[in-house]
Amino acid sequence: MPQKSDLTSSGELLLPWRRAESLQDLLLLWSPCRFRDMPDGQRAWLSLFLDRWLALLTSEHGLEEECFMQLEILQREKKICDEFYANLLRERPLIGRSISSMQDLPKSTTADEIELLTKGKVKYDYHAMSTSRTCWFRGGDTAALRATYLGFGGLTILLAPGSEENQEDAKQLQQMISGLKLPAFLRKDARMVALVAGLDPQKPLEPPSFIRNHPAMAHLNAVMGPQKRDPQKQLRRVMFGQKTKEIFGSSLKADPAYAGIPFLLPRLSSAMIFQSTIEERASWFQLFDVYLRESLEDDGMLLATKPEFLSGIVQVVASLRKDGYRYWEG
């Protein structure tokens, strides 16, 4: 948990948020939270705060919200685990890595560990295997996701600028796809020939026509919704995942696992932010404008954002206070 000297209150206007006054290049706020058995008063206040503030950011600044959930927390909490699997087809979460250090990727299972598991000498602990995995919901119903997953200690929310069609991103993705080489036996397979022939290189994220026109796709499209099928939004999220690796994993490129990771999500804590340099923090905010995380290390909610968003936070806190909502810190 942050020390009182590090996280101080900027007066009553921000409470229950406390501001780290020593950081001037970004706005760092912290609020105490009790995860897993979060009191109703905390949950209600945080839910309303997020509903109002994120709506303000979306309408006034054009930011888009992305929600992430730690797989370990999902597996440990039966209530949300059941909800997660019930909505798996609709949400289609992408599993990536989360890192608490900029220097090391989460360790993969070694050959010796696998041998011990197969011989029954070590008990398989799927919780341990999932500590570094995180689920990215990629543009799902963010309000519903927050209502489901808030308060268990595994939720991270990023807000990034929405963008128009980016030709450079499209070209970069086309180059990545064109660089993939199929083995000879697959190139001779009639089904693979049909698949490759139906791809449009100018639309790298669009399925080939014989898949798009298949009757089964009508049901899938109805379940997924138009937002999931928007090629431009898909492209933006693919490139967003690549940029997370460039910013948070540049020193990890030599690791054999690096290429297969779709995205890297940093598990920022107050200690990690204070130990970073101004240049490092500036690179983070090239990727997103808002970083909000349930931080078990800090025993509370951690919010890092651009300083210009302070007035909006004060405005929303004041609206909650006016409406009679109080945050119980017990």
Please give the single-letter amino acid code of residue 239: M
Residue 158 lies in a domain: yes
Q: What pLDDT shows up at residue 75?
A: 86
Q: Which has the higher per-residue pLDDT, 250 or 50? A: 50
- Residues 261-278 have a mean pLDDT of 92
Q: What is the amino acid identity at position 277?
A: T
Domain count, the chain: 1
pLDDT tens-digit readout, 293-302: 999 999 999 9
Domain that holds residue 154: 18-163+249-322
Residue 261: how many CA atoms within 13 Å on its side-chain side?
A: 28
Q: Report if residue 178 sits inside a domain.
A: no
Q: Residue 229: inside a domain, yes or no?
A: no
Cα–Cα distance for residue pair 65/298, rounded to 1 Å: 23
Question: pLDDT band for position 173 (50/70/90)?
Answer: low
Which pLDDT value is given to residue 87? 86
**What three-state secondary structure class fits 99?**
strand
Phi, then psi, of 61 in degrees rounded to 5:
-120, 0
What residues pair up with 63 in beta bridges, in sequence order? Answer: 161
pLDDT of residue 9: 41
At 313, which amino acid appears?
I
Burial class of 10 by CB neighbour count within 10 A (0 to 12, 13 to 18, 19+): middle
**199 is written with which tokens?**
């791809």
Find, among 290, 323, 315, the residue nearest to 13 by Cα: 315
Q: How far is CA 226 from CA 91, 140, 183, 222, 289, in A?
A: 13, 11, 34, 8, 26
Q: Is the pTM of this model over 0.85?
A: no
Q: Is residue 121 part of a domain?
A: yes
Tell me the average pLDDT across 189-201: 64
**What is the band of 158 on the pLDDT scale with cuts at 50, 70, 90?**
very high
**Residue 18 confidence (pLDDT) above 90:** yes
In a domain, 307, yes or no: yes
Q: What is the pLDDT of residue 205?
A: 58
Q: Specify if 38 maps to a domain.
A: yes
pLDDT greater than 50 at residue 7: no
Looking at residue 77, its pLDDT comes to: 86
Separation of alpha carbons 85 and 311, rounded Å: 39
pLDDT at position 254 over 60: yes
Asked if the structure places residue 231 within a domain, the reply is no
240 located within any domain: no
Mean pLDDT across the chain, nearest whole number?
79
61-98 exposure pattern, b = at least 16 Cβ within 10 A, e = fewer: bebbbbbbbbbbbbbbbeebeebbeebeeebebbebbb
